[in-house]
């Protein structure tokens, strides 16, 4: 299922954008266009530059050369981290309201979107790991983002909770129509969620793969099997070259 009609995602464009820290080149100049409402997954080994690419898109880093543009500007984007980063002294509702600069408007709807409508008055310590990550997602959603960036948000979860969260992320993306960018080490997760997978290798784009197939996706669907194989083959080919 594609994003809903009237999608309000933000288009993203990089033109010759690269990043160096002094003499250390992290990202070589690259061109990249993400359409409004698209879902891009970025994969690669640790230190390959994928998180730097995400930070450039979000405006958290300034490119050394080239340009990065996000439709609607930085205010259009929200970021979900690997750790929930909840305030332990604040209730669930108050933590979600942080994403709306303290306003309670939209908090109930955001909690409903992540299937936690009955947890508003709980403390973070009373929640499971999966529930805390749902609160972090609600905190991002309450700001009505046009671009939602997810930096390995499911890495610390157990396998079953991770599958539940994948389904939740896909559902809210379809319902709300934002542009999504997911950084992950998990190739299967990237292929299951995204409609396009970008492999970053040594600061360059090593593979740019469109993922076909209807949603919701099944891991044994031929399109899923083929996409996973293509990404893994590209990774292994690079390893064999070293």
Confidence at residue 4, expressed as pLDDT on a 0 to 100 scale: 44
Q: How far apart are CA 83 and CA 76, in angstroms?
A: 22
Supply 135's token pair: 């609160």
From residue 105, give the alpha-carbon distance in Å to each of 44, 87, 110.
38, 19, 10
User: How would residue 127 be classed by pLDDT, with cut points 50, 70 and 90?
Assistant: very high
Closest CA to 206 of 181, 238, 241: 238
Q: Helix 129-141 crosses helix 159-176 at what angle (to 10 degrees)?
A: 20
Confidence of residue 167 (pLDDT cuts 50, 70, 90): very high
Parse the chain into domains and list their residue ranges: 1-72+147-242, 86-145
Q: Return the residue matching tokens 């405006």.
A: 59
Element (H, E) at 170: helix 159-176
Strand segments, DSSP code E, in the chain are 12-21, 24-34, 39-43, 65-70, 77-80, 147-151, 179-183, 196-201, 204-210
- pLDDT surpasses 80 at 13: yes
What is the tens place of the pLDDT at every residue in 53-94?
999 999 999 999 999 999 988 888 999 998 899 999 999 999
Strand 204-210: give its sheet, edge to edge.
Answer: 77-80, 147-151, 179-183, 39-43, 196-201, 204-210
CATH class of 1-72+147-242: alpha beta
Q: Does 46 or 3 have the greater pLDDT score?
A: 46
Digit-coded pLDDT (tens) for 190-239: 999 999 999 999 999 999 999 988 888 888 999 999 999 999 999 888 66
pTM for this predicted structure: 0.92
């Amino acid at each position: 299922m594609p994003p809903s009609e009237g999608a309000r995602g933000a288009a993203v464009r990089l033109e010759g954008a690269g990043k160096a820290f002094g003499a250390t080149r992290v990202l070589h100049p690259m061109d990249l266009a993400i359409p409004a409402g698209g879902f891009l997954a970025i994969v690669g080994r640790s230190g390959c530059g994928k998180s730097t690419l995400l930070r450039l898109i979000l405006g958290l880093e300034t490119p050394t050369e080239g340009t990065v543009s996000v439709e609607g500007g930085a205010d259009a984007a929200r970021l979900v981290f690997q750790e929930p980063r909840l305030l332990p002294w604040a209730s669930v509702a108050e933590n979600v309201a942080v994403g709306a600069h303290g306003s309670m408007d939209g908090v109930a709807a955001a909690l409903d979107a992540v299937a936690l409508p009955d947890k508003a008055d709980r403390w973070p310590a009373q929640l499971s790991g999966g529930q805390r990550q749902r609160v972090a997602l609600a905190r991002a959603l309450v700001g009505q983002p046009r671009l939602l960036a997810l930096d390995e948000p499911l890495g610390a979860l157990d396998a079953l909770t991770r599958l539940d969260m994948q389904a939740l992320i896909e559902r809210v993306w379809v319902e709300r129509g934002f542009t999504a960018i997911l950084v992950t080490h998990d190739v299967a997760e990237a292929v299951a969620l995204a409609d396009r997978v970008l492999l970053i290798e040594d600061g360059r784009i090593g593979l740019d793969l469109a993922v076909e197939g209807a949603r919701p996706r099944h891991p044994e669907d031929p399109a899923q099997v083929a996409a996973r194989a293509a990404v893994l083959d590209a990774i292994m080919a690079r390893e064999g070259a070293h």
